[in-house]
Amino acid sequence: MSEERSFGRTEEELRFLARVANALGREVETSPPEQPVRGVRGLPTPEAAGNSLEQFLANWRAVGGEADVVRAREAAGRVAEIAREWGVGRVVRWNDPLLDELGLDPALQAAGISVYVWRAGANRDEAIREVDRADLGVTTVYWVAAEPGSLALLSGGDTPRAVSLLPPAHLALVPASRVVPGLTAIMRETALRGLSASLNFITGPSRTADIEMELTVGVHGPGRVYALLVEDR
């Protein structure tokens, strides 16, 4: 084992790895093995045919998601409309500048809906309490994959995991430029830009069929999910 690699490994780790190598009938390998195949390279990946945006809408709706496409100046008004329709009284949202630019808070407040903005370094107990009693969580996305119809969310101080999870409904504002054909682009991008502590792919509402195979949505996570695609400003 080379000096560089063994540095930082404990005796216990070295022993465990030696046992594994022994089961394979050799010493511990120290240089990266040549991968005969890698990822989906060379495979017929299910990339979206034609317009990715249309493809995303179709696939997202097929798994029980709701969706619409709006212009930037209509976005905030549309969110307020959906919230009213769903009987939402409280919203918790990510602290993404895009949501400020779209004028989300004033539109919701005008409709009599309260808004809590979860910011980096927020008081944990307060933030969790707010998100637990919210009726709707609003986020943006990092990407959406047309096939298989998934939102990709990265966690961060201003983009907490709980907002798309604890409320019974989740609405994501999706700049149309962030629609990519398939998962491949997302996997490469995330690996390149350095990983957040949590990368979540969301494909439809929370679901279960654990009781007599009957499909029920909203068991722990949101039962309603809405992707609102925002066309260029």
Partner 1 sequence: MTVHPATMKERAAEALHNDFLREAVKITTDKFFAGKALAQRSLGDWEAWRERGRAIRAHVLAHLDYYLGQLIDQVKSRGGKVHLCETAEDAVQVIVDIARARNARSVIKSKSMVTEEIQLNKALEAIGVRAVETDLGEYIIQLAHETPSHIIAPAIHKTKKDVAELFSQVAGKPIKDDTDTLTNFARQKLREEFLTGDIGITGCNFAVAETGSVALFTNEGNGRMVTTLPPVHVVVMGMERVVPTFEDLEVMMNLLPRSGTGQKLTSYVTVITGPRREGEVDGPEEFHLVIVDNGRSRILRDPEFREALQCIRCGACLNVCPVYRQIGGHAYGWVYPGPIGAVITPLLTDDLDRWGDLPYASSLCAACAEACPVKIPLHDMLVRHRVRYVAAGKTPPAERMAFRLYKRAFTSPRRYRLAFKTAVTFQRPLVKDRHLSARLPGLAGWTAGRDFPAAAPKRFRDLWPGLAAEARQMGGADHE
Contacts with partner 1 in 112-131 (CB under 8 A)? 118, 120-124, 127-128
**150 interacts with partner 1 by CB under 8 A:** yes
**49 interacts with partner 1 by CB under 8 A:** no
d(CA 200, CA 12): 33
**198 interacts with partner 1 by CB under 8 A:** yes
Distances (CA, A) of 51 to 67, 148, 151: 16, 14, 17
| Least gap, CB of 74 to partner 1 (angstroms) | 29
Tokens found for residue 188: 């490469």
- Nearest alpha carbon to residue 223 among 208, 211, 205: 205
Name which of 109 and 198 has its Cβ closer to partner 1: 198
**Size of residue set near partner 1 by CB under 8 A:** 86
Q: What is the per-residue binding string for partner 1 in 161-190, x denoting contact by CB under 8 A?
A: xx--xx----------------xx--xx-x
* Of residues 207-226, those binding partner 1 (CB under 8 A): 207-214, 216, 218-222
Which residue is associated with the tokens 């679901």?
207
140 three-state secondary structure: strand
Which residue in the set 48, 82, 138, 202 belongs to the binding site for partner 1 (CB under 8 A)? Answer: 202
Residue 209 in contact with residue 124, Cβ under 8 Å? Answer: no
Number of CB atoms found within 10 A of residue 220's CB: 10
Which residue in the set 89, 106, 112, 157 belongs to the binding site for partner 1 (CB under 8 A)? Answer: 157
